[in-house]
Amino acid sequence: MVSFENFEFLKQLVETPSPSGFEQPVQRLIRQQLAHVADHLETDIMGNLIAFLKGDGGPKVMLAGHCDEIGFMIQFVDENGFIYFGAIGGVDPHLSPGQRVTIHTDQGEIAGVIGKKAIHLIDSKDRDTVIKLKKQYIDIGCTSREEVEKIVSIGDPVTFAVGLQALQGQRVTARAFDDKMGAFIVTEVMKQIRRGGGISADLYGVSTVQEEVGLRGGTTSCYGVNPDVGIVVEVTHATDCPDVEQNGIGRVALGKGPVIARGANINPPLFSLLVDTAKAENIPVQIIGVPRATGTDANVMQLSRGGVATALLGIPLRYMHTPVETLDLFDLEMAIKLLCAALVKIDGHSSFIPV
Ligand SMILES: [Zn+2]
């Protein structure tokens, strides 16, 4: 089971705002957790948080989970005090009308709602059309531009005003599990490796930034760390709900263990190490084939410098990029267990050259 203490940390992570480019409130939480764990802890110029655990002669291994989330950004205030915004990352414009949001200003949080014309007032031919994001607006209760501009600044980030909630069993829902639960797993693995007395490999746990706007923090942090081996922890689409087709993705269910990707983006010996470790440790895993570049930090990691032996560990997630992303805590727990068991096996004799 994910312990109560860890669960509280996960909850804090997903509830603390970190739209791409504004990640430091979440990085501060992770820094606190790792302050007495890492041999060295640093934030780079992009805002990536890099925790280091010294090994004894093994290769350099980098774990990465991105801590940024999708959101909105304030761009324009009209004369009546309605606030227009753009998307930070891949926000679905279906979702936002009629929702509560929080604007994160320098002075603190401001509550708002995204306006939505009443159904009574919509022409029947328009009822099924999506309202373009640039037509949507936030209402914070002000009546003039001057009033708004006293409290809200152009460029302020915005998130949906929802937190984490437990569903039945070990299932939980929140905004932004993508990919703060990846940063959570990396943090927990660093703690457990430290508790276990360390490993042969030099281990870098990186909470990357700006993934949702083009894999940007993963690109620079991987170049900076210059690892031999890298494992990215990310959410992956679950296909066990009524409106998602399994053909094209594969069988991915909540609660059946983490997902190991296979394909050109993945180093074959590293893939085998993960699969063999899962088998040896009786850890349930699911395998998906990804015939192209994955849309994750694993893509830029693999292509960094002269190439990095890269793997992608996915956590099954329903309703990605919505305020009701849903996952099963069992999969997180198994991912932590699998990573710890696999990392122990990497030493100076490991070769990841495909043969
Ligand atoms: Zn992600």
What number of CA atoms fall less than 13 Å from residue 22's CA on the CB side? 20
**How many A from CA of 14 to the centre of ligand 1?**
13
> Could you tell me the distance, in angstroms and rounded to a whole number, from the CA of residue 203 to the centre of ligand 1?
22
Q: State how far the Cα of 237 lies from the Cα of 240, in Å rounded to an integer.
A: 9
Distance 126 CA to ligand 1 centre (A): 33
Per the residue annotation, which of 69, 211, 234, 333 is the catalytic one? 211
Dist. CA 156 → ligand 1 center (Å): 22
Integer Cα distance of 315 and 334 in angstroms: 10
Q: How far apart are CA 351 and CA 170, in angstroms?
A: 38
Is 333 part of the annotated catalytic residue set?
no
Q: How far is the CA of 212 from the centre of ligand 1 (A)?
A: 6
d(CA 276, CA 165): 35
Residues 6+ apart with CB under 8 A from 115: 82, 97, 136, 137, 138, 139
Question: What 3-state DSSP class applies to 22?
Answer: coil
pLDDT along the chain (355 residues), means of 10: 82 97 98 97 98 96 98 98 97 94 97 93 86 96 98 98 96 97 98 96 98 97 98 98 93 98 98 98 98 96 98 98 97 97 97 95
Would you say the pTM of this structure is higher than 0.95?
A: yes
